[in-house]
Amino acid sequence: TGDVMGKYHPHGDSSIYEAMVRMAQWWSYRHMLVDGHGNFGSMDGDGAAAQRYTEARMSKIAMEMLRDINKNTVDFADNYDGSEREPLVLPSRFPNLLVNGATGIAVGMATNIPPHNLGETIDAVKLVMDNPDVITRDLMEVLPG
């Protein structure tokens, strides 16, 4: 979290660590984006260990998701103090929002997107790429979820 806070998010490390912990929990993410070592909590509500007792790295699927980030696929801008460059958007080889789902409330609006099957989601993306005018009924044949 220290590296992230120093380079990209100078607002304290607790929110960074909480996000990282969730990305390492098999019951929170269908396809975990973080490969964690140590105590990252439990499904019945036990909290994660303090940061100093855990280690983390990007999971294989996270590495694959961001594989093309250094191939001029997106624009980069200076970080908050101009010492680093960060992507304006994260390119993704698959729609992580659909694969892992999302639940939350912000500014009076709620969202609840259930997780979907990775293979079916990729097939749906291919269908939309091949036929941008595909109708929902045909799309649901590929992604019934």
- The residue from 49, 68, 93 where one domain ends is 93
Backbone phi, psi, residue 89, to 5°: -135, 155
This prediction has a pTM of 0.83
- The residue from 77, 93, 109 where one domain ends is 93
82 and 13 in one domain? yes
Query: For the residues 115-141, what does the mean pLDDT come to?
Result: 96
The predicted-structure confidence for 6-19, as pLDDT tens digits, reads as follows 787 778 788 889 99
Is the per-residue pLDDT at 1 higher than 70? no
Of residues 122 and 68, more confidently modeled: 122
Our count of domains for the chain comes to: 2
pLDDT of residue 9: 79
pLDDT of residue 105: 92
Active site residues: 53
Q: How far is CA 131 from CA 7, 47, 58, 99, in A?
A: 40, 46, 33, 21
65 and 5 in one domain? yes
4 and 61 in one domain? yes
59 and 26 in one domain? yes
134 and 86 in one domain? no
Question: 137 is in which domain, residue-wise?
Answer: 94-145
Please say whether the beta carbons of 37 and 56 come within 8 A. Answer: yes
The predicted-structure confidence for 23-77, as pLDDT tens digits, reads as follows 999 999 999 999 999 999 999 999 999 999 999 999 999 999 999 888 888 899 9
